[in-house]
Structure 1
């Protein structure tokens, strides 16, 4: 795998919107996210069409492609952050210039719907991409410090590091009310104990499944899958989507499941019931309720990178990122 050069203080980060438009963000949100990235030492610039908005709160395929290509083409740009997630980044996949992207490797980070474009880039170019905070995520006040710490560790340092649980988590609508938030203690949970070392693939489950049967789907065999889903899922759809992905993946080495939002009703009981259906999961390490996905805070991890998973002591060490 081709590991992009790590970000450094003074680097330019380009903000692009391959899914939903930046127009859905408030002016205060854009201002605070920009200021916080600048406080980390970055120069922040925006794609020409990052705030274009159509009937579905996105931009045209042509304009989104142009912004992504320009971000990879511009030698001054060292990292690319997505504005936010959404529903339609997979529309771009047939039109991306993967040769251009592969010849200009650089940090590309986002989560949720960005899973489609990030996974496709990794599959087509061999370049590691990253599941982690969007540009908009930096406008969050409480809980941002832990999230930023692991963003920096994954994208700005060379040394191997262990991902450890946050102290507390929340799934409230922080972007609507930054003051009145509810947190509770974090607990990563063990479904099956064991250790595994391997390549990481995954992120948003329902989005990754959109790539099945296409040339944009990574080879998931012998990988450690990191999977999460959002409040639009329910236990039945999570069960269906997980079964579908495991059938495509074949043998995997480990499974790490991000924490579900409460409104999904994917409870401990439901997770145990769903995982019990799969014999392969009885013989590999499996963790769940882990700090990534659509709850806060989240850590950053490399799609196509490598990790050592020890579910018995709830540890994840990134070794290639």
Structure 2
């Protein structure tokens, strides 16, 4: 399957707003995010059912699917930004019309539960998507690090990008090295739920980069064991762990998390690079990653860096 690149954002373009996962009760954050985008020089178009609630889950899912189809079909909308994560996007995958998406490749930005959409769209169409900031979680008040990386990658057609971790995120090195592959990044829990479905991209020669939040170590162990038992870790050319934030009040069940991450670092091909602590996940210092882009990645005692082929076009 050929790789599809969306067009880069330009000042004055229209950004469509969708809520494929959970709604947000924080209307002030949404208003601040919209004002932020408009202040930068973009137009904003919320989908018809943006951030709405429905008593019937089937009706709600139909509305979400219609919103996505409308945004991809629109001649006005240049990029599509997601409201937030939470849950629900996995329920949309069977009903999405991937031909509409393939005929109208556009920037789709979001992470966490949006992982399901991001990976499914890449698996079905070859379109590069962007695992990065969302309206109600970051874009209402982005940190300079998050902001700079987000706009640089969405607005620079034809350019390679160097993506490096923030110095405030300490790295744990498991296996140094350099490799090439397709970047597959997302939330571990959501990604794990796609295993065995037609919406899971091939892991062959991929750089797998996973993160999660508020998961006990025993749960992370179970999720990674599932990937290993499905023989998916056998095929990756590298494994990176992002941020695994947990509620500090939760007991540390199942052994220290780093021990578990290191255990699965030994499950990939010998010599393949692996490290933990990348600036990706539920963190204020969030990198934007082009899911499906070809990349070169390097893990040394000095840090982690990813060099990607141009993920957007003119």
Q: Indicate whether the TM-score tops 0.5.
A: yes
Q: 1:307 aligns with which of 295, 298, 304?
A: 295
Give the aligned partner of residue 10 of structure 1: 12
Structure 1's 58 and 260: CA in aligned 2 closer, same or farther, altered over 3 A? Answer: farther
Which residue is equivalent to 1:258?
242
Could you say if the C-alpha distance between residues 52 and 279 of structure 1 is closer, same or farther in structure 2, counting changes exceeding 3 Å?
Answer: closer
Q: Distance in 1 between matches of 2:78 and 2:231?
A: 34
Q: Is the 8 A contact 2:217 2:256 kept in 1?
A: no
2:259 is the alignment partner of 1:275: no
Q: Is the 8 A contact 1:291 1:297 kept in 2?
A: yes
Separation in structure 2 between the aligned mates of residue 307 and residue 206 of structure 1, nearest angstrom: 24
Question: Is the CA contact 1:12–1:44 (under 8 Å) kept in the aligned structure 2?
Answer: yes
Match of 2:219 in 1: 237
- Counterpart-to-counterpart distance in 1, 2:133 and 2:110: 5
| 2:153 counterpart of 1:154 | yes
SS at match of 2:244: coil
Q: For 2:182 and 2:306, how far apart are their aligned partners in 1?
A: 12
What value does the CA root-mean-square deviation take over the aligned residues?
Answer: 2.2
Structure 2 residue 194 is the aligned partner of structure 1 residue 211? yes
Distance 2:58 2:27 in 1: 17
SS in 2 for 1:211: coil
8 A contact 2:235–2:269 mirrored in 1: no
The match for 1:220 is 203
Q: Does 1:71 align with 2:71?
A: yes
> Given that residues 61 and 92 in structure 1 are in contact (C-alpha distance below 8 angstroms), is that contact kept between their aligned partners in structure 2?
yes
> Is 1:194 the counterpart of 2:181 in the alignment?
no
SS in 2 for 1:280: coil
Moved more, 310-319 or 234-243: 310-319
- Does the 8 Å CA contact 1:49/1:59 hold for their aligned counterparts? no
Match of 1:298 in 2: 286
CA distance in 1, matches of 2:5, 2:253: 35
How far apart are 1:139 and its partner, in Å?
A: 4.5
Answer whether contact 1:109 1:134 (CA < 8 A) is retained. yes
Mapped to 1, the partners of 2:255 and 2:169 lie a distance apart of 14
Residues 133 and 243 from structure 1, CA distance in 2 versus in 1: closer, same or farther, beyond 3 angstroms? same
Residue 274 (structure 1) shift: 3.8
2:72 counterpart SS class: helix
What runs of 5+ residues in structure 2 fail to find an aligned partner?
none
TM-score (norm 1): 0.87
Partner Cα distance (1:267, 1:144) in 2: 34
**Counterpart residue number, 1:181:** none
* Counterpart contact for 1:229–1:260, Cα < 8 Å: yes
Paired with 1:267 and 1:299, the residues of 2 have a C-alpha distance of 29
Q: Which ranges of structure 1 fall in alignment gaps of 5 or more residues?
A: 168-184
Partner of 2:79: helix, strand, or coil? strand
Cα pair distance change 1:25/1:33, threshold 3 Å:
farther
> Which stretch shifts more, 221-230 or 279-288?
279-288
Structure with the bigger RCO (C-alpha within 8 Å, sep 6+) is 2
Q: After the TM superposition, which of the residue ranges 53-62 and 299-308 deviates more from structure 2?
A: 53-62
Count of matched residue positions in the alignment of Structure 1 and Structure 2: 300
In 2, are the aligned partners of 1:260 and 1:266 still within 8 Å (CA)? no
What SS does the corresponding residue of 2:4 show, helix, strand or coil? coil
Deviation of 1:275 (Å): 2.3
Shift of 1:87: 1.3
C-alpha distance in structure 2 between counterparts of 1:16 and 1:127, whole Å: 18
